Amino acid sequence: MAERALGRSGLTISPLAFGGNVFGWSADEAATHALLDECVALGIQCVDTADVYSAWVDGNTGGESETLIGRWLTRSGQRSRVVLATKVGKWGPRAGLSPANIQAACEDSLRRLQTDVIDLYQAHADDPTVPLEDTLGAFSRLIEQGKVRAIGASNYSAARLAEALEVSRRHGLPRYETLQPEYNLVDRAGYEAELEPLVREHGLGVIGYYALASGFLSGKYRNEADAAKSPARGAQVVARYLNPRGKRVLSALDDVASRHAATVAQVALAWLIARPGLSAPIVSATSVAQLRELAAARALCLSKADIAALDGASSGG
């Protein structure tokens, strides 16, 4: 499948990106390197991480994911085949989007990643305490210094993203070329209502996270007992999604999957890949076999009837 542009950045990626949130958490260094080797072999160029991954693990402080990626880049010599995306500012010691914090956080990320440049540097969350002109000015200086190629926004509201784009236009500053929103078959309204029209109007790339709704859209959670399959988040996923609408979506996924001899997860990803304006959903895996299964979604072509069935089952959310 053809690569897709990330806004006007000049960067292009396969219609699937890999999420590095598992690195230093459920994937140790050996597993991380095996997964990254397989990403390259499968033509999945974009690896998305953040400076705080995986600070939620006991004993971690953040930066573990970037560190493991950096070791792999040095070992493998594959830097030229990877679109490296990371994020700054959500929480932890480098929280916020002040110019000083952005500059320092970028230096830290470059050191951990063992690279000279970050392809896509994203604001992990909006920081309303800092004027957008200051935040974008800091990103501009990083681009001028050759440390960042393009910038993006994650978890921005439509209003704040529109304001940021206008600030960039008015002051001649680099604009956010990508948006990273939560988006999947059971979490649609937050993106589709206001963000989707905005990003399509301005030609931004979209790299959506939680593509499989924390595993729900893999078919892993079909009843209350299934929550025990994942003690860390199973109960939370079941409580959020295992309702009449969620069950309708799973039923529709089952039907489409059976027609294509595909897995439920592959169909859920193929629906996202077929969405106009979406550059790539982000997927995570902890084994090479799992990654190969998910990567096969790129070759799954859903019919208009398939998409209509999935849209109908998931409407209203």
Kindly report the CATH number assigned to the domain that includes residue 85. Answer: 3.20.20.100
Whether 234 is in a domain gets the answer no
pTM: 0.96
Whether 11 is in a domain gets the answer yes
Whether 153 is in a domain gets the answer yes
Query: Which helix H or strand E contains 125, and what residues bound it?
Result: none
Q: State the CB neighbour count (10 A cutoff) for residue 140.
A: 18
- The boundaries of the domain holding residue 40 are 4-180
Return all residues near 82 (Cβ < 8 A) that are at least 6 apart: 39, 40, 45, 46, 47, 73, 119
Return all residues near 76 (Cβ < 8 A) that are at least 6 apart: 33, 36, 37, 40
The dihedral through the CA atoms of 73, 74, 77, 80 has a sign that is positive
Whether 21 is in a domain gets the answer yes
Whether 241 is in a domain gets the answer no
Whether 161 is in a domain gets the answer yes
Q: Which two tokens stand for residue 208?
A: 């959506």
Return all residues near 288 (Cβ < 8 A) that are at least 6 apart: 34, 35, 38
**Contact call for residues 269 and 1 (beta carbons, < 8 A):** no
SS3 label, residue 134: helix
Whether 67 is in a domain gets the answer yes
Whether 168 is in a domain gets the answer yes
Q: Which two tokens stand for residue 205?
A: 């790339």
Active site (catalytic) residues: 53
pLDDT in tens, the chain (317 residues): 689 999 999 999 999 999 999 999 999 999 999 999 999 999 999 999 999 998 888 989 899 999 999 999 999 999 999 999 999 998 777 889 999 999 999 999 999 999 999 999 999 999 999 999 999 999 999 999 999 999 999 999 999 999 999 999 999 999 999 999 999 999 999 999 999 999 999 999 999 999 999 999 999 999 888 878 777 778 888 889 999 999 999 999 999 999 999 999 999 999 999 999 999 999 999 999 999 999 999 999 999 999 999 999 999 76
Number of domains composing the chain: 1
Q: Annotate 106-137 with b (16+ C-beta within 10 A) or e (fewer).
A: bebbbebbbbebbbbbbbbbbbeebebeebbb
Alpha carbon dihedral 79, 83, 88, 93, in 10-degree steps, equals -30
